[in-house]
Amino acid sequence: MTTTATRRRRIRSPLDSYRNAVFLLAPTVALIFLYKYVPIGQAIWASLNAFSVAGNPLAFVGLDNFVHVLTDVSFLHSLMLTVIFAAVKIPLQLALGLGAALLLYQSSAFNSFLRVVIVIPAITPIAIIGIIFLFLFDREVGLTNAFLTAFGVGRVSWLTTPATAQAVVAVASIWRDAGFTMLIYLAGLTAIPTQVREAARIDGANGWQSTRRIILPMLQRSTQLATVTTTIAAFQFFAPIFVLTRGGPQDATDVAAYHIYEQAFVFYDQGTANAMSVILVSLIVVITTVELYVLRSRWEY
């Protein structure tokens, strides 16, 4: 027979549970701190210093790098291009993702196949997306121009004309990320209680009325998540531009992420590049914070 004292020893105290939790979580917390927050601190420190071409710190310059960056016309131009790119990408990607989710919500073998087809670009390495679009839109060997010439239309310089280069980059980004947005909306649609849909149908609501008055408001949290993730992706968009246009033609695709890359790894100006990075991250934090507040859920179910 177990005594009362033995039973008491078997009961874990809250302090024991806390110690076990700290012991189990410590490695993960340490890795997060090491690989997430230490680089942020290093970037802030580097933005306050001047560096040699070899990357060695020369002197503490305080906010001089930020003053230089905020008066640099080329960087301000890249920020403006990034904001315009995000303003185009966000609504189009949300519309495509939501439309695909509404069309493919019902379970069937054909819908499952289409879901996989749409999601494949989202899990494809982003640099591969750039190579695919280079193969599609190259002026001499691109499939798009081959198709046009087959119908007697002249070749188009897709990647060497500013307007068309911007369009190709935008299409590449939206095509790649629309599948992820669709998954977010599919999860939101699955979470909507079936009783709500049935009640709307019984009350005589047609498909459009049900979508507008019930489904879209109840997808508020999904829209919030999709908007924030799309915004972050738009401001960090880099790899396809590196593969397709290298910021050209005429700086038409020189978005902030690529501009920072050039400062750091082409001109070897580490101080300026880190100051640009801090400004870009700060801008992302501000914009996403506003989006989280404006798009906060007003519905509970």
Domain membership of residue 130 (yes or no) is yes
**144 contacts 156 by C-beta, under 8 angstroms:** yes
Q: Is 121 among the domain residues?
A: yes
Does residue 148 have a pLDDT over 80? Answer: yes
Q: What is the pLDDT of residues 270-299, one digit of tens each?
A: 999 999 999 999 999 999 999 999 988 776
Burial grade of 25 (CB within 10 A; 0-12, 13-18, 19 or more): exposed
- Residue 55 confidence (pLDDT): 81
Return the CATH number at 188.
1.10.3720.10
- 241 in any annotated domain: yes
Find out whether 284 and 62 touch, Cβ atoms under 8 Å.
Answer: no
pTM assigned to the model: 0.87
The number of domains in the chain is: 1
Residue 2 lies in a domain: no
The mean pLDDT of 156-161, rounded to a whole number, is 92
Percent of the chain with pLDDT over 70: 93
1: confidence class by pLDDT, cuts 50, 70, 90: very low
Q: Is residue 229 part of a domain?
A: yes
Confidence (pLDDT) at 16 = 66
Structure tokens at 47: 């933005």
pLDDT at 139 over 60: yes
Question: In the predicted model, what is the mean pLDDT of residues 219-246?
Answer: 93
- The whole domain housing 204 covers 72-294
In a domain, 8, yes or no: no
In a domain, 55, yes or no: no
Tell me the average pLDDT across 181-204: 85
157 falls within a domain:
yes
pLDDT at 118 over 90: yes
